[in-house]
Structure 1
Amino acid sequence: MSDKPSVLFVCVHNAGRSQMAAGWLRHLAGDTVEVRSAGSAPADTVNPAAVEAMREVGIDITDQTPTLLAYATAESSDVIVTMGCGDACPVFPGKRYEDWQLADPAGKGVEAVRPIRDEIRTRVADLLAELRA
């Protein structure tokens, strides 16, 4: 891993969980970590409930766009965190993988997304602490 590790968050639609995780890591790590997110079947837009839930904690993810998971992006990432994408995520020797079992915020209102947002924050903070160790 380089001086500036890269973390890739992957979920199916790249519209909720992975976007919130990327938002948290950018917020908590600043420019010390390269943050990426992608989806195996990306949606057209970021989930509005995820946008609102993040806005409530002062993080703006309105400028993010769901992106298709690219082989090269995964291959060049130091840490790959999957969130329900299953077999669609490629596996590369020597990479650090984590699979976070999180509820899917798709189709849910902001009230249901808040606990998911908060759990993601805890996991991202733990991951950042490990990267800095």
Structure 2
Amino acid sequence: MKKHDTAPAKPTVLFVCVHNAGRSQMAAGYLQHLAGDRVTVLSAGSEPKDQINPVAVEAMAEEGIDIAHNVPKVLTVQSVVDSDVVITMGCGDACPIYPGKRYEDWALEDPAGQGIESVRAIRDEIRGRVEALIAEIAPAPAA
């Protein structure tokens, strides 16, 4: 994480999956919702689709998180350079690696083509991983 003379900088987290239409969008939605302004959230894909998976949108709406207006974005070298933490979800060799970054690969089933029950299970697993990530990199301030 970047250092400043005053308060510590908020970490930037990049979620990457192939199409940037399901897993990475759900993870980004949860991180933004749960951590708020304690983090900067980015998501991208090595081969982005033209729209978010509608079943992922539905599953997140059940949690009160609206990702319907998000747009899949192409993964750029700059987005990796700008990030402190890079979470990959099945993008294989398409994800650039840079020294000094924290990398995690979350082995998650792809929600593409799956029904709502399966996508809910993927969503719930993502939520648990995002909550653990927040506890490590951006815990809530003590009351």
User: Which category describes the TM-score, using the shorter chain as reference length?
Assistant: over 0.9
Give the corresponding residue for 2:103.
97
- Give, in angstroms, the shift of residue 24 of structure 1: 0.2
Structure 2: gaps of 5 or more residues: 3-8
Give the corresponding residue for 2:53.
47
Give the corresponding residue for 1:10.
16
* % identity of equivalent residues: 66
How do 1:31-110 residues align onto structure 2 when only pairs under 5 Å count?
Answer: 31-110=37-116
The answer to whether 1:25 aligns with 2:25 is no
Confirm or deny: 8 A CA contact 2:11 2:84 kept in the other structure: yes
Structure 1: gaps of 5 or more residues: none
**Deviant stretches of 4+, over 6 Å:** none
- The TM-score normalised by the length of structure 1 is 0.98
Question: In structure 1, how many angstroms separate the alpha carbons of the residues matched to 2:101 and 2:18?
Answer: 20
RMSD over aligned CA atoms reads 0.7
